[in-house]
Structure 1
Amino acid sequence: MEPIILLAISLLVLFLVIGVPVPMSFGATVIFLFVVGDYGSSNFLVAAGFNKTSSIILLAMPLFILVGEIMSTGSLASRLVDFCDSIFGRLKGGLGVVVVVVTAVFGAISGTASSAVAAMGTIMVPRMVERGYDRGYAAALVANSSVLALLIPPSSAQIVYGWISGTSIAACFLAPILPAAILVFLFSFWNFFLTRSMPIQQPDPAPPREIILDVAEKGKRSTLALVMPILILTVIYGGFATPTEAAAVAVAYALVIGVVIYRDIKMKDLWRIGHNAGTTVGVVMVLVFFAVMLSRLFTMEGVPQQIVETLLSITEDPLLILLMINLFLVILGMLMDDFSGLLLATPILIPITQEIGVHPVHFAAIIGVNLGMGNITPPTAPLLYFGARIGQVPLQKMLKPSLVFVVFGYLPVLLLTTFIPALSLWLPRLVLGIE
């Protein structure tokens, strides 16, 4: 590999480690490469960046971010929590299961992990502490469960992957569903194990009839929220709308529910919702702009082909190459968020996976699970830091339970996803008939 490329990659890693914002780290690396290298006019780079950011497919991502902000402001999230609490909350440790399940459902609506941390952390951490859960554990569970938002459709991460790789976004949505379901089960199981010695207060016993009536009442109050992911997926897989159009429908649906039906979102709240969503989207779009330019420069320098040749010179065993790819993705996820990792890794790794015969839809699940695990793995672990801030707890108190969830939850799912392709391909083949 050319020394200039190695130096550029080293600078990018250095910028990320010392805390330079990710979009600026990408931008500085692009500027360094262009100044030091011999690429002629910069017009082609700027045009590449603008062409990608103006993609109609990419528009789905900011719309789903907006949905997440609407849900966080209104009572949709709290109604989901109350419904799941009525089912699982009477078990010792059941409130932890509520966190896992509701985060998965919330992810199926908002598609972003940070929105899940903000919404679930604000609602669930105080409630769990009030019932006797350790605050550090509560924040850790919320942060780790938020990664389900990257796997449950409609996932913004899968939109980015499908957009970059040219893979069907509908198929990418389906690929991580079974791995996510296994992850929900493992997180719930280890939740009961980790909370067995906590002084948790359980609700008073109640007759079965009273419990059923409570579940029915809470279910009725949360019906409109539960219908949303079903509506989104139905219009996509029924062929009625593209993911972008479905995202627009989801925004309209959430606004009608919050403003007109539940009336817990006031007109004055709309400015704050738009401002928060716009800030997030602005950062993401700047990141996309610079990441596309950096990817174009790496492609011109033949970086993907050189990596393919290097890996094949070490071994031709596809399983060993997949292990090395997984290690690279986990390390990448430790250094940057899922969007940044996807934008950087996808164009580099797709040629490698094609060379060893990995289906692009299968790789969608692999890269989603990998980068999700990296987001909760120190040293950077952006979701853990965000969870610590939302939960108002030192990060150190979150590390022990987080380690259990990563080693005994995420890692097994990652290995299953990587080495059992049917786990990722069964649903896309069943629903969409992909080869």
Structure 2
Amino acid sequence: MISVLLADVAILMVLMVIGVPVALCFAAAVLFLVLVGDYGSATFLVPAGLGKISSIVLVAIPLYILAGNLMIHGGLAGRLVDLAESLVGRFRGGMGIVVVLTMAVFGAISGMASSAVAAVGSILIPRMVELGYDRGYATSLVACSSVLALLFPPSASMILYGWVTNTSITALFLAPIVPGLILVVLYCAVNQFLTRRMPIIVPASVPAREVVADVANKTKRASVGLLLPIVILGCIYGGITTPTEAASVAVAFAIPVGFFVYKGLNRRTFYQAVWEAGATSGLLILLIFFAAMLARLFTMENVPQTILEALLAITESKIGLLLLINLFLIIVGMFLDDASGILLAGPMLLPVVQEIGVDPVQFGAIMGVSLGMGLITPPTAPILYFAGMIGKTTLPLMLKPTMTFIVICYLPVLFLTTFIPALSLALPRLVLGYGG
């Protein structure tokens, strides 16, 4: 049966590489196992899929996606860029820091890396090029910063991981924050180093009074939108709502802000935001349906135990096993989006890491960092290619800065998150009294 399972995984990966929609790739993998395997009647798979997509937890994801889309079309992205630029954009290399800070904040609001690239990248990449930044570098920085969306709450990736592994979502929202903040600091520091020789146009100095007035004005313009993550997290950690109920609050907050405060929403843009959120959510639910079926089959075939035995055959060292798991997750992230990677790898690997003493909440942070790194790691790098489309550039022009960010910023954070449990468990323990 091992050969059949390997063939099934190969079918899954090949279909993804050639561009077949991910949900159909999972469906093909399920169909192959049902036809080749000895399961008798396969009717048990449909309840397995329906049981997963009927979970109340999953309602949060389309609601958070909708809230993010409403803020995008409502005009928040431009206000965030203006605020960040007024704060740190006045000195050499400052626009690079603007990118990192804006992507971190907007990623927290939208919950998805691709949304952050589309909304913020389309504004910031042309602006950076006008100021003398290399186009390949500007696009690379936008792509690499966009994966911060996986690490700052409310993260759709953490909701999916919590749901598929029965782990506390409130704890998972907190777990990747410290790794995310370290990444922000490293990105900003490396940006200053990489841009030191670029022919950047530095804004003329102005009196401090004008700077303060400009910052105050831009803060006022963006302040209402910046309240959204505060409202969400305040409701959750204040014990007022569950994460799913907080998603409803987020939508209820975003609609009047978009219509009456920022005035970016009208009948057309509201319909567009709802349509895009519905299309994204529909594809995600379909993906979850088939992924749940595949997970059920893999569980019946003892795939997690087989993976553990295979890894132990290579090394019995905990450090070695964790490095191999990280490598596997990075490769998964190179071929799949973060949601697909979590649905595929989460149920398989959680029993493995628990066997070697890794807490499920810490593993959630590890998955977020590892899959995020895969999304920007060539040669596949789905987010990198998407950013290249937005920035109108090619992979060769983005390759050098991207690999610099990966090696100097991402790898150290991945190692820290993997081998220092307190990095991801400190906040859950402090805020929630988490005992894992």
TM-score by length of 2: 0.98
Which residue type is aligned with residue 319 of structure 1?
Answer: I
Superposition pairs for residues 212-251 of structure 1, below 5 Å?
212-251=212-251
Which structure 1 segments of 5+ residues have no match?
Answer: none
Q: Distance in 2 between the 1:46 and 1:91 partners?
A: 58
Q: Distance in 1 between the 2:41 and 2:99 partners?
A: 52
Superposition pairs for residues 375-414 of structure 1, below 5 Å?
375-414=375-414
Q: Deviations over 1:320-362 (max 9, x none)?
A: 1111111111111111111111000001001111100101111
Q: Distance in 1 between the 2:424 and 2:406 partners?
A: 20
Residue 42 of structure 1: how far off its partner (Å)? 2.3
Q: Distance in 2 between the 1:301 and 1:154 partners?
A: 34
Residue 310 of structure 1: how far off its partner (Å)? 2.1
* Equivalent position of 1:328 in the other structure: 328
Q: Does structure 2 conserve the Cα–Cα contact (< 8 Å) formed by 1:336 and 1:380?
A: no
Q: Distance in 1 between the 2:276 and 2:154 partners?
A: 20
Residue 316 of structure 1: how far off its partner (Å)? 2.5
Which residue type is aligned with residue 200 of structure 2?
Answer: I
Q: Does structure 2 conserve the Cα–Cα contact (< 8 Å) formed by 1:74 and 1:265?
A: yes
Q: Does structure 2 conserve the Cα–Cα contact (< 8 Å) formed by 1:338 and 1:371?
A: yes
- Find the residue that maps to 1:128 and give its secondary structure: helix
Which residue type is aligned with residue 70 of structure 2?
Answer: I
* Equivalent position of 2:41 in the other structure: 41
Which residue type is aligned with residue 47 of structure 1?
Answer: P
* Equivalent position of 2:207 in the other structure: 207
Which residue type is aligned with residue 165 of structure 2?
Answer: S
Q: Distance in 1 between the 2:57 and 2:341 partners?
A: 19
Given the alignment of the two structures, is residue 188 of structure 1 paired with residue 156 of structure 2, yes or no? no
Q: Distance in 2 between the 1:352 and 1:263 partners?
A: 50
Moved more, 393-402 or 310-319: 310-319
Q: Deviations over 1:360-407 (max 9, x none)?
A: 111011011000000001222110111011111122211111111111
* Equivalent position of 1:81 in the other structure: 81
Which residue type is aligned with residue 424 of structure 2?
Answer: S
* Equivalent position of 1:90 in the other structure: 90
Q: Does structure 1 conserve the Cα–Cα contact (< 8 Å) formed by 2:111 and 2:154?
A: yes
Which residue type is aligned with residue 209 of structure 1?
Answer: R
Residue 92 of structure 1: how far off its partner (Å)? 0.6
* Equivalent position of 2:290 in the other structure: 290
* Equivalent position of 1:123 in the other structure: 123
Q: Distance in 1 between the 2:70 and 2:381 partners?
A: 26
Q: Distance in 2 between the 1:137 and 1:313 partners?
A: 42
Runs of 4+ in 1 over 3 A off after TM superposition: none
Q: Does structure 2 conserve the Cα–Cα contact (< 8 Å) formed by 1:186 and 1:409?
A: yes
Q: Does structure 1 conserve the Cα–Cα contact (< 8 Å) formed by 2:75 and 2:263?
A: no
Residue 411 of structure 1: how far off its partner (Å)? 0.6
* Equivalent position of 2:258 in the other structure: 258
* Equivalent position of 1:104 in the other structure: 104
Moved more, 351-360 or 58-67: 58-67
- Find the residue that maps to 2:55 and give its secondary structure: coil
Q: Deviations over 1:132-167 (max 9, x none)?
A: 111111111111100000000110000000001111
* Equivalent position of 1:160 in the other structure: 160
Q: Does structure 2 conserve the Cα–Cα contact (< 8 Å) formed by 1:84 and 1:102?
A: yes
Q: Does structure 1 conserve the Cα–Cα contact (< 8 Å) formed by 2:49 and 2:290?
A: yes
- Find the residue that maps to 2:217 and give its secondary structure: helix
Q: Deviations over 1:197-239 (max 9, x none)?
A: 1111121101111111111111111110111111110000111
Q: Distance in 2 between the 1:68 and 1:264 partners?
A: 13
> How high is the sequence identity, in percent, across the aligned residues?
59
Q: Does structure 1 conserve the Cα–Cα contact (< 8 Å) formed by 2:71 and 2:225?
A: no
Q: Deviations over 1:7-40 (max 9, x none)?
A: 1112112222222222111111111110111112
Q: Distance in 1 between the 2:306 and 2:174 partners?
A: 32
Q: Deviations over 1:275-309 (max 9, x none)?
A: 11111111111111111111110100111111112
Which structure 2 segments of 5+ residues have no match?
Answer: none
Which residue type is aligned with residue 388 of structure 1?
Answer: G
Q: Does structure 1 conserve the Cα–Cα contact (< 8 Å) formed by 2:85 and 2:98?
A: yes
* Equivalent position of 1:170 in the other structure: 170
Q: Does structure 1 conserve the Cα–Cα contact (< 8 Å) formed by 2:73 and 2:270?
A: no
Residue 131 of structure 1: how far off its partner (Å)? 1.2
Given the alignment of the two structures, is residue 58 of structure 1 paired with residue 61 of structure 2, yes or no? no
* Equivalent position of 1:70 in the other structure: 70
Which residue type is aligned with residue 291 of structure 2?
Answer: A
Q: Does structure 2 conserve the Cα–Cα contact (< 8 Å) formed by 1:30 and 1:293?
A: yes
Superposition pairs for residues 312-327 of structure 1, below 5 Å?
312-327=312-327
* Equivalent position of 2:14 in the other structure: 14
Residue 102 of structure 1: how far off its partner (Å)? 1.0
- Find the residue that maps to 1:85 and give its secondary structure: helix
* Equivalent position of 1:426 in the other structure: 426
Q: Deviations over 1:54-106 (max 9, x none)?
A: 11101111111112211221211111111111010101110110110111111
Residue 259 of structure 1: how far off its partner (Å)? 0.6
Residue 412 of structure 1: how far off its partner (Å)? 0.7
* Equivalent position of 1:372 in the other structure: 372
Q: Distance in 2 between the 1:105 and 1:60 partners?
A: 19
Residue 429 of structure 1: how far off its partner (Å)? 0.3
CA-based RMSD of the aligned residues comes to 1.1
TM-score by length of 1: 0.98
Q: Distance in 2 between the 1:327 and 1:394 partners?
A: 26
Moved more, 299-308 or 70-79: 70-79
Q: Does structure 2 conserve the Cα–Cα contact (< 8 Å) formed by 1:12 and 1:26?
A: yes
- Find the residue that maps to 1:59 and give its secondary structure: helix
Q: Distance in 2 between the 1:50 and 1:88 partners?
A: 49
